[in-house]
């Protein structure tokens, strides 16, 4: 009888673990890695974390209805590849994916004449990727991987959004 409970417990734990694994957002998909590495244009943004409904989507001071604090075009392929590699290797620490989603960084990349946009929230370790107006992917990124993005922005004299308290 005790053996039956042990087996049932193991099966239950395995089922829960598998369910968690299958619903957890994946890392940066290879197709989006290609978009970022091979894009004709790659621009890194510093943005205010909270959307402003009154901000026009097409305004030059708007990135997905968030106020743009500044941006820099990343033309140096070494710098671009470093940022993409950081996103590829960035794994969250512990429990990731709390639902704050207050992105302070963003990327706009033009690839094959299509615009891709990435909202990056290092606070909750999530990235949302868009192609045009459509959300096409969500993946996780560790918050300790923020410094290279901050460095590229500050080297270009772009103001960073205030960090959470």
pLDDT at 15 over 90: no
Mean of per-residue pLDDT scores for the chain: 85
As a whole number of angstroms, the distance between CA 82 and CA 37 comes to 10
Which residue's entry shows tokens 């042990």? 6
CB 120 within 8 A of CB 106: yes
Quick check: helix, strand or coil at residue 39? coil
> What's the rounded Cα separation, in Å, for the pair 70 and 161?
10
Which distant-in-sequence residues (6+ apart) come within 8 Å of 126 by Cβ? 25, 96, 97, 101, 138, 139, 140, 141
Lowest mean per-residue pLDDT among 61-65, 81-85, 106-110: 61-65
**Topology of the domain comprising 26-155:** Dna Ligase; domain 1 (3.30.1490)
Q: Is 63 helix (H, G, I), strand (E, B) or coil?
A: strand
**Prediction pTM value:** 0.81
Q: pLDDT (tens digit, 9 = 90+) per residue, 84-109? A: 999 998 777 665 556 789 999 999 99
Query: Structural domain boundaries of the chain?
Result: 26-155
Q: Is 45 left (phi over 0), alpha (psi -120 to 50) or beta?
A: beta
């Amino acid at each position: 009888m005790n053996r039956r409970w042990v087996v049932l417990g193991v099966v239950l734990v395995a089922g829960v673990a598998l369910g968690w694994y299958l619903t957890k957002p994946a890392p940066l998909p290879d197709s989006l890695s290609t978009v970022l590495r091979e894009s004709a244009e790659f621009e890194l943004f510093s943005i205010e974390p909270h959307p402003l409904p009154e901000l026009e989507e097409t305004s030059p001071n708007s990135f997905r209805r968030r106020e743009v604090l500044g941006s820099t075009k990343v033309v140096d392929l070494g710098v671009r590849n470093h940022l993409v590699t950081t996103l590829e290797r960035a794994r969250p620490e512990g429990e990731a994916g709390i639902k704050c989603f207050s992105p302070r960084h963003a990327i706009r990349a033009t690839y094959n004449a299509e615009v891709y946009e990435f909202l990056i929230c290092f606070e909750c370790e999530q990235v949302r990727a868009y192609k045009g107006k459509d959300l096409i992917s969500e993946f996780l990124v560790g918050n300790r991987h923020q410094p290279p993005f901050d460095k590229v922005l500050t080297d270009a004299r772009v103001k960073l959004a205030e960090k959470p308290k």
